[in-house]
């Protein structure tokens, strides 16, 4: 059995780490390299970086910090933000990233997933999904352009249908961002994750809502996800990663110490 992964998420805007709630009201909280070094020595298994404005501004992410991060840490990291060409992905890998993640570009051109997988291998291609629960229809819908609250909108995809599609196209991993729970520290959406797990045969990472050790435990043990991604809980020192791992081990969850 593969060890479960604990993954801090760093949202990037203008080269700085930011954080908000439900993908809105973002505030600058620190330096990219400083945060990376801190997490690399604090027990994180890998890191994920999202340049939140790249896709909404129709540009590639600011690459200036990628090589600095690669030189500063010894754990894998994934980069996302406006990547919509194979040549752009190649450049980001050349700077030291281990994976790339695509979200809106995949929704705009689903076969982009296949082109990336053909060149770099599925293991390097992560698809991020921003999922929103709609009470009136009791359904989960995929949203895009979530980096800008003024232009974000719904797609025609329901979350599980999109997950089934990206697997067929060659995605090697999926990160599901539960927007309704993001930044609230009330726990992950276990019902949605359990439903998704039944349809997802590739590694499934969850983001959005963790605030207690028990929230991570529920996602990993009840929903059976492969990794848990969090920002607020780690950035604000609400959760210590090493202590979290000890707790998870005590509950029978295999993690790397």
Residues labelled as active-site residues: 11, 130
Calpha distance 224→93 (Å, rounded): 30
The angle that helices 159-169 and 190-197 make with each other, rounded to 10 degrees, is 40
Q: Which residue has the tokens 């992905």?
A: 89
Contacts of 153 (CB under 8 A, 6+ apart): 143, 144, 145
β-strand partners of 7: 229
């Amino acid at each position: 059995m593969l060890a479960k992964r604990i993954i801090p998420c760093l949202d990037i805007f203008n080269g700085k780490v930011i954080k908000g709630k439900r993908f809105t009201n973002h505030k600058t909280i620190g330096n990219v390299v400083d945060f990376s070094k801190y997490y690399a020595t604090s027990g994180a298994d890998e890191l994920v970086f999202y340049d939140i404005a790249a896709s909404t501004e129709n540009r590639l992410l600011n690459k200036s910090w990628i090589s600095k991060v690669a030189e500063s840490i010894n754990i894998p990291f994934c980069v996302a933000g406006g990547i919509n060409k194979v040549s752009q992905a190649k450049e980001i890998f050349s700077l030291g990233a281990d994976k790339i993640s695509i979200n809106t570009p995949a929704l705009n051109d689903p076969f982009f997933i296949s082109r990336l997988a053909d060149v770099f291998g599925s293991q390097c291609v992560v698809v991020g999904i921003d999922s929103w629960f709609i009470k009136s229809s009791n359904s989960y819908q995929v949203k895009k352009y979530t980096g800008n609250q003024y232009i974000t909108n719904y797609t025609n995809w329901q979350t599980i249908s999109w997950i089934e599609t990206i697997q067929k196209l060659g995605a090697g991993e999926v990160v599901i961002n539960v927007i309704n729970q993001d930044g609230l520290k009330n726990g992950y959406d276990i019902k949605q994750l359990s439903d998704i797990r039944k349809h997802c045969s590739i590694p499934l990472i969850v983001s959005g809502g963790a605030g207690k050790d028990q929230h991570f435990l529920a996602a990993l043990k009840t929903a059976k996800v492969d990794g848990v991604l969090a920002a607020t809980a780690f950035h604000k020192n609400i959760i210590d990663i090493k202590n979290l791992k000890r707790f998870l081990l005590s509950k029978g969850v295999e993690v790397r110490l």
